[in-house]
Structure 1
Amino acid sequence: MKKIIKIVLGVIVGLVVLLSAVAGIFIYKVKNGFPVSYETEAPQITFPTDKPAILLFSKTTGFRHGASIDASKPVIADLAKKNNWYLYETEEGGVFNAQQLAKFSVVVFNNSTGEVINDEQKRVLEQYVENGGSLMGIHGAGDDSHHWDWYEKHLLGAKFSHHPLDPQFQMADILLDTPKDSLFSTLVPKWSNSDEWYVFFENPRKKGFNIVYTINGESINPSGNMLFVSTKNFGMGKDHPVAWYKQTGKGKTFYTSMGHNETAWQNTNFVKLIETALQWSAKK
């Protein structure tokens, strides 16, 4: 009997060790990205001369928010049709060359995670924004998998820490701040939604970003502790921004940490936020 108990305990311990190793590898890959290949061949694009061009870039090499990405595409296509924008959707990084990128009014990192473009393409995108282009990021575009100082400084204004796990999705009131641009002041002043609320180490407000929406960070459980992780039990406090923007050189950046899954794209208030951000970004 004792021998059987020892065998059972050994199997349990082995399974715990194996599962812990698998979880550790997965967390590492999510944070640092999966094997990467970079596309460098410029695509064939016929740009219309009478419409602002929007680049919707949904490539991922880290965690893939597949349901949100799939749900976003028809919604943004409808917004493009409504606003007379030309929409080019791709997951190929070859479009990040100076000649073609200059023809876009806005580049959207649509839940793009991991290192999705190479160093040369990153420099091209930086110059594009600083010379008057616009860069938008949605949810996963703000996680800590990009390893790109300029991107973190000018799009996010803060370093990602974690998201809650107990539970992962929580309902919160989303409150309109006092935007400096009148376009954002037309948004709904208060609405409620459930999302995966990203926690950052710093508040982008303190880095000079203009806040569009916040939640009360004290109204959610921000703990991201799991398995052997015991240091992710903090939040951002009561002032917890979830959408913000700023001027970067001659260009613009906008980011929202909302949009984890497909339900976001079914919410008219979230869609209106994205539409307004695109309108602001495309406006010269």
Structure 2
Amino acid sequence: MKNAILALGAAALLAAAPFTCAESQYKLLVLAIPNKYHYEYIPVARDSLERLAKLHAFEFTYANNTGVFDGDLRQYAAVVFLNTPGEELNPSQRARFEAYMRGGGNAVVVHRAAITPPSAVPNPAPNAWPWYERLVGRTFKIHPMLQTAAVDVVDRDFPAACGLPPRWIWSDEWYETTDPYKVAIRPVLNVDESSYDPTKIWPGQVATGMGKSHPVAWYHRYEGGRVFVTLLGHDVAMYKDPQYLSHLMGGIWWAATGKGQRTD
């Protein structure tokens, strides 16, 4: 009987060991609200994030409405706007998020979440949010049709570049942006406009490209926290791609912890 009890005790310890080793390092809030052009990605991205969370020992709240911003955001190491722009938040939720960032919170902005109603124009939209526009660091202008292009890594020491080759073949909507607020950003990836047609767009619209300096992923500090932005991530299949997920995970890791950036 004694041996049986000891065996059961050892088995219990072994069963508990993985849970202890995988204790959560931090917690994320991921906002993913379906919209006209981005909805199929939601369950796929959630599944991929669950696998990343198990692999990298973090946890997250996956929300499909903005009600979570009515609660205490201080529990989250970073807030991820996953194809969901900040304009979805109501005024009180915006104020809570601003306070969260000023208190040392952090943000990750993915693809569609970087499209904001421009505020630095003669007649800004009623739901324009200049503060969030500056958080993103750039203002969306237009994008040509989805095309394959070559992406160059311009900051090899940043975690979102880990696992990517120096020149990466990727297919996406190559957002064109402007900088009305003169925000200083640190580019991580730059798309080579000579590798696709920046003018290929729908009738009645005009895209001209941005020239040699066309960042598609960057980071900067804003208020009291860290912000990582990637304009990549239009298609649902991308949220299954190992290289894209490595890129996204690196940005999340840095935003949540401030770690992983080589400084030597």
TM-score under structure 2 length normalisation: 0.78
Aligned to 1:212: 188
Candidates 128, 139, 145, aligned match of 1:147 = 128
- Aligned-CA RMSD value: 2.4
Candidates 78, 86, 92, aligned match of 1:120 = 92
Question: Aligned partner of 1:248: which letter?
Answer: Y
Aligned to 1:67: 40
Question: Aligned partner of 1:222: which letter?
Answer: P
SS at match of 1:70: helix
- More displaced 10-residue stretch of structure 1: 185-194 or 67-76: 185-194
Cα deviations across residues 232-280 of structure 1 (Å, max 9, x unaligned)?
2311112211111111122111111100011212321111011111110
- 5+ unaligned residues in a row in structure 2: which ranges? 1-22, 118-126, 259-264
- The answer to whether the 8 A contact 1:243-1:256 is kept is yes
Q: Distance in 2 between matches of 1:239 and 1:220?
A: 15
Query: Alpha-carbon deviation of 1:59?
Result: 1.8
What are the residue-to-residue correspondences of 1:23-38 with 2, within 5 Å? none
Aligned to 2:78: 106
Q: Distance in 2 between matches of 1:130 and 1:224?
A: 41
Aligned length: 226
Candidates 174, 182, 201, aligned match of 2:151 = 174
SS at match of 1:207: coil
Aligned to 1:130: 102
User: Structure 2 vs 1, CA of residues 143 and 121 (structure 1 numbering), >3 Å: closer, same or farther?
Assistant: same
Aligned to 2:252: 278
Candidates 221, 224, 234, aligned match of 2:208 = 234
Q: Distance in 1 between matches of 2:229 and 2:30?
A: 14
- 5+ unaligned residues in a row in structure 1: which ranges? 1-48
Q: Does 1:194 align with 2:171?
A: yes
Query: Alpha-carbon deviation of 1:187?
Result: 3.9
- The answer to whether the 8 A contact 1:163-1:224 is kept is no
Q: Distance in 2 between matches of 1:185 and 1:244?
A: 10
Q: Does 1:245 align with 2:215?
A: no
Query: Alpha-carbon deviation of 1:197?
Result: 1.1
Q: Does 1:260 align with 2:234?
A: yes
